[in-house]
A and B are shown apart, each in its own frame.
Chain A
Amino acid sequence: MSVSMFLLLAVVGMAFDLGRVYIARNEAQIFADAASITAAKQLDGTAAGLDRARAAVSALPNRWNLGTEDFSGVVIEFSADGKQWEAEPKDLKALRYARVTAPDNHVTIMFLRAVGGPPSFTVPARAVASTNPVRLTE
């Protein structure tokens, strides 16, 4: 009986918990794509452009966890060459890339934890977009 209960919980957990994890991963990646393009679109070599980029990413309505939760802890960084990234860059005129990371997407595990799984599963996402033309590069 306990063996079959264990197997049953494992099967239910695979369908329910992993299903939600895959959806969350997909939602997070789409958000990161949209947010990086949003930020790159605002860059114009000025400090006001940086502020607009941050504000536009915060205002993005895309949500996760079956479309019920806002993204939190979103990190926005900028770069001139796509290698060195800074949240507060100095040389604003040289900026060509915006990178957005959504690191805090913790999916609560409900069934798999009963058979030894973790209490939550984190599905971070990251995307990079270039300016002029504004396009996703990563």
Chain B
Amino acid sequence: MRRGRIGERGHAMLELAISAGVMVSCLVGTFQFGYTFYAYNQLVTAVGNGARYAAQRTYRSGSENVERGNEAIRNMVVYGDSQPAPDATPVVPKLTPAEVEVRWDLAGDGTPLNVNVAIKGYTTDAIFRSFTFDGRPSVQFPYVGNYANGGREQ
């Protein structure tokens, strides 16, 4: 009788160990994918906003002006603001402007046709595992702003 009760307790412990293992694995996986999807969704929104902003702002020719403009676009993606405050927080943890790629398609005369904004080499940390986004999300918008030949970017 006594031995039977001990045996039952042993079975229960074994069942708990197996089912807890399965449950914890499922919950960890759910957290990983859930958090990664959340981060990806934030990046899609940020890249879309950045590309829309880039498509409408004045494009000034000249490599210095273009680079200054690209910096404002990267800031728009990362912080939601082209001129962020020093303590601004990125839309997803640890995203930096260096991980945002801005590419212009130019016509033969140098006027912009399209702007492409993409995430390059950003790694999201879902605690148990990390995922790297390289080239995704990526958005192209046609350029519909004003083209200025020269001048100085503000």
Q: Residue on B with the closest CB to A63?
A: B138
A27 touches B44 (CB 8 A): yes
Among B34, B45, B55, the residue within 8 A (CB) of A37 is B55
Does A6 reach chain B (CB closer than 8 Å)? no
Contact (A22, B26) CB under 8 Å given A33-B52, A56-B142 = no
**8 Å CB contacts to B: which residues of A19-42?**
19-20, 22-23, 26-27, 29-30, 33-34, 37-38, 41
Could you mark each residue 36-73 of chain B with 1 if its beta carbon is under 8 Å from any beta carbon of chain A, else 0? Answer: 01101100110010011001100000000000000000
CB proximity of B33 to chain A, nearest CB, Å: 5
Closest B residue, CB atoms, query A41: B142
Instruction: State the total of A-B contacts with C-beta under 8 angstroms.
Output: 75
Show the binding face of B for A, using Cβ within 8 Å.
19, 23, 26-27, 29-31, 33-34, 37-38, 40-41, 44-45, 48, 51-52, 55-56, 116, 136-142, 144
Chain A positions within 8 Å of B30 at CB level: 11-12, 15-16
Q: From B37, which residue of chain A is reached at the shortest CB distance?
A: A19
Would A22 and B41 count as touching, CB distance under 8 A?
Answer: yes
Interchain nearest-CB distance for A126 vs B (Å): 16
In the complex, what's the smallest C-beta–C-beta distance from A30 to chain B, in angstroms? 4
A135 within 8 A of B: yes
Among A23, A34, A62, the residue within 8 A (CB) of B40 is A23
Chain B residues with CB under 8 Å of A66's CB are 40, 136
